[in-house]
């Protein structure tokens, strides 16, 4: 049976994700894309995780506007949704975009109509007691978004995951509620193919966590995979891509950004701009789950 070789995933939600991927991979008749979708959906469904899905943070209008994407290595196909309102599992909708349409990304109203047509239920605001309370504090001016410079103070992370099966087939995906209390309509790197995620079968894959405005302007995930294509091991590739971003966009050093990569040999690596307790990643293999702290590339 084709099983899981390795999965890696970013941030606190990555723990839930890799464990769910590991669990999902034990069911017969399932594939890397099923494991990835179920792993990311488990994080989306967990209301204690304040970066993705129902537990996430709303935009400045108090709406849970979710972004997600999935990409498959062997078929080189991707699906994504952005600014999706009302649906608890944007990764499931992104997968349908990949599987059921000739398109790659659906946004806003169109994404919502598509999700409904696919049988997903519009659950309205999706705010939890915690996110409502934080949103009300934001409206009262009690949330200091400038304190960290990048809105990670109140959630606003991403779960990005990469899966490799025992046939060495790769897939990757992301899910996020984006920056906490973001400008309505704002979309970050996470659902952007090449920005927040990318996979090329035969080479490897990369996914990002952190300040989307920085990473999408350097094509961070694609850039990291191209470093793998040049023959760098994943750790060196992630560090080289991070050094490129620091050169091109020195302001990224004031923000938290993490890129993680997996090569075709199943080796992982990662690099981040600065210290942050949530900017680590998790790795699951048949021998268990471990937490990895990526090196800080800023001063
Ligand atoms: N990458 C996400 C975005 O920019 C947010 C984050 O990971 O902090 O929307």
* More confident position, 47 or 157: 47
What's the pLDDT band for 148 if we cut at 50, 70, 90? low
The tally of domains found in the chain comes to: 1
Q: What is the bridge-based pairing of β-strands 77-85 and 197-200?
A: unpaired
What's the pLDDT band for 146 if we cut at 50, 70, 90? low
Domain-embedded: residue 183 = yes
pLDDT exceeds 60 at position 153: no
* More confident position, 289 or 144: 289
Q: Which two tokens stand for residue 187?
A: 């979309």
Structural domain containing residue 16: 4-292
* More confident position, 126 or 269: 269
287 Cβ contact partners less than 8 Å away, ≥ 6 residues apart: none
Share of the chain above pLDDT 70, in %: 96
pLDDT given at position 29: 93
Active site (annotated) includes residue 158: yes
Q: What is the mean pLDDT of residues 107-123?
A: 97
Q: Please tell me the distance between residue 140's alpha carbon and the centre of ligand 1 in angstroms.
A: 24
Per residue in 219-242, pLDDT (tens digit) is: 999 999 999 999 999 999 999 999
Q: What is the mean pLDDT of residues 16-28?
A: 96
Using alpha carbons, select from 299, 196, 294 the residue that is nearest to residue 254.
299
Q: Is the separation of the CB atoms in 74 and 201 below 8 Å?
A: yes
What's the pLDDT band for 144 if we cut at 50, 70, 90? confident
Domain-embedded: residue 298 = no
pLDDT given at position 30: 95
Domain-embedded: residue 68 = yes
Catalytic annotation, pick one of 158, 174, 255, 256: 158
Q: Which of 13, 14, 155, 176 to mutate to test the pocket of ligand 1 (most atoms within 8 A of CB)?
A: 176
Using alpha carbons, select from 189, 164, 180 the residue that is nearest to residue 241.
189
* More confident position, 154 or 187: 187
Backbone angles phi, psi at 4, to 5 degrees: -85, 130
Cα-trace Rg, the chain: 17
Q: How many CB atoms lie within 10 A of CB 287?
A: 6
Backbone angles phi, psi at 209, to 5 degrees: -135, 135
Q: CATH number, domain at 71?
A: 3.60.20.30
pLDDT given at position 47: 86
Tell the residue nearest (CA) to atom 9 of ligand 1: 178
Give the burial string for 138-159 (b: 16+ CB within 10 Å, else e): beeeebebeeeebbbbbbbbbb
Q: What is the mean pLDDT of residues 101-112?
A: 98
Using alpha carbons, select from 102, 58, 103, 118 the residue that is nearest to residue 83.
58
pLDDT given at position 54: 84
Decide whether any atom of ligand 1 lies within 6 Å of the 200 Cβ.
no
Q: Considering the chain, what is the average pLDDT of its residues?
A: 94
Q: Is the separation of the CB atoms in 15 and 149 below 8 Å?
A: no
pLDDT exceeds 90 at position 157: no
Decide whether any atom of ligand 1 lies within 6 Å of the 207 Cβ.
no
User: Which residues lie across from 271 on neighbouring strands?
Assistant: 259
pLDDT exceeds 90 at position 88: yes
Q: Please tell me the distance between residue 80's alpha carbon and the centre of ligand 1 in angstroms.
A: 15
Domain-embedded: residue 23 = yes
pLDDT given at position 243: 98
pLDDT given at position 121: 95
Domain-embedded: residue 12 = yes
**Ligand 1 atom with the shortest distance to the CA of 158:** 7
Q: What is the mean pLDDT of residues 128-149?
A: 84
Q: What is the mean pLDDT of residues 17-24?
A: 97
Q: What is the mean pLDDT of residues 80-109?
A: 97
User: Worst-scoring range by mean pLDDT, 1-5, 173-177, 205-209?
Assistant: 1-5
pLDDT given at position 185: 96
Domain-embedded: residue 106 = yes
Domain-embedded: residue 246 = yes
Q: Please tell me the distance between residue 3's alpha carbon and the centre of ligand 1 in angstroms.
A: 30
pLDDT given at position 147: 57
Q: How far apart are CA 19 and CA 282, in angstroms?
A: 9
């Amino acid at each position: 049976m084709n099983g899981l070789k390795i999965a890696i995933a970013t941030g606190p939600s990555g723990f839930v994700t890799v464990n769910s991927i590991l669990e999902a991979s034990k069911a017969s008749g399932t594939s890397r894309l099923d494991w990835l979708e179920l792993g990311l959906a488990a994080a989306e469904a967990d209301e204690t995780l304040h970066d993705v899905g129902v537990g996430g943070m709303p935009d400045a209008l108090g709406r849970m506007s979710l972004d997600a994407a999935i990409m498959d290595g062997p078929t080189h196909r991707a699906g994504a949704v952005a600014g999706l309102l009302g649906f608890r599992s944007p990764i499931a909708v992104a997968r349908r975009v990949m599987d059921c349409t000739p398109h790659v990304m659906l946004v806003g109203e169109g994404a919502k109509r598509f999700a409904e047509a696919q049988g997903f239920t519009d659950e309205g605001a999706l705010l939890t007691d915690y996110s409502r309370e934080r949103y009300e504090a934001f409206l009262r001016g009690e949330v200091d978004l400038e304190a960290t410079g990048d809105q990670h103070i109140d959630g606003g992370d991403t779960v990005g995951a990469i899966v490799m099966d025992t046939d060495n087939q790769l897939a990757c995906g992301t899910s996020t509620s984006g920056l906490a209390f973001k400008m309505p309509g704002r979309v970050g790197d996470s659902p952007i193919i090449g920005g927040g995620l990318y996979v090329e079968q035969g080479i490897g894959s990369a996914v990002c966590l952190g300040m989307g405005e920085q990473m999408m302007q350097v094509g961070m995930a694609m850039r990291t995979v191209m470093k793998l294509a040049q023959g760098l091991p994943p750790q060196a590739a992630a560090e080289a891509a991070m050094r490129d971003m620091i050169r091109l966009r020195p302001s990224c050093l004031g923000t938290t950004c993490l890129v993680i990569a997996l090569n075709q040999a199943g080796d992982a690596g990662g690099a981040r701009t600065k210290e942050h307790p949530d900017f680590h990643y998790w790795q699951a293999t048949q021998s268990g789950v471990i937490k990895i702290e990526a090196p800080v590339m800023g001063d």
